[in-house]
Amino acid sequence: FYAVRTGAGRYVAAPYHELVDDQQVARFAIRQRLQTKEGPPDRLRIKDWMTLDLEASFFPDADRDNFGEDVGLIGGRYRWNVGARTSIIANAYYDLFDDAQQLWNVGVLSQRTRRGSGYLGLRQIKGASPDSQIATASYTYQMSPKWLSTLGTAYDLAEGRNIGQSRTFTRVGADFLIHMGANYDQSKGNAGIAVAIEPRFLGLKSSQTKLSP
């Protein structure tokens, strides 16, 4: 039902093969950019200094589609590029009905050198039963032109327990990125390994900075 409310499957290329339910919803959003210029005086370039995106949905048949509330799926995303290598990132997602989701995340993403970047953040997950404040940290480091390493960890501050850790090594090829990793979720007692092959459509720099959760 959550997938239907958020519009899963409404795109032609969506990975869903059947219509799940009927729904009427009007979605409203505003995308805002505060920009500045940087660089040498004779070669100034425009960059986003701050971005703020806000959205909400209106459900004409609220009893059927949104647990009796006319408005729902209220979300926001904010990013402040403090400097050329450091950004403050925040987002939130809320609903208004009883025991609805209350999700927010705030963190700092920093790339101090071209070879390494790190992320430190705090996330709240609250709903009908879970109530967690999770601290997360991760880093990516380019060990050589052909190899990257990534390490991530998470700890639940509300429940005082370790959530888990993950470690990934990436082989950088001319056409593909090959990821080999392992993870351990102490809260569920699960451990696993994974291998993934990713076509290399973008430059190496973008793969280094995909650290926000």
Q: What is the pLDDT of residues 117-170, one digit of tens each?
A: 999 999 998 876 678 899 999 999 989 989 999 999 999 998 888 888 999 999
**Long-range CB contacts for residues 187-192, cutoff 8 Å, separation at least 24:** 187/156, 187/161, 187/162, 187/163
Strand duo 176-185 + 102-113: pairing: unpaired
pTM: 0.75
CB-count exposure of residue 119 (10 Å: 0-12, 13-18, 19+): buried
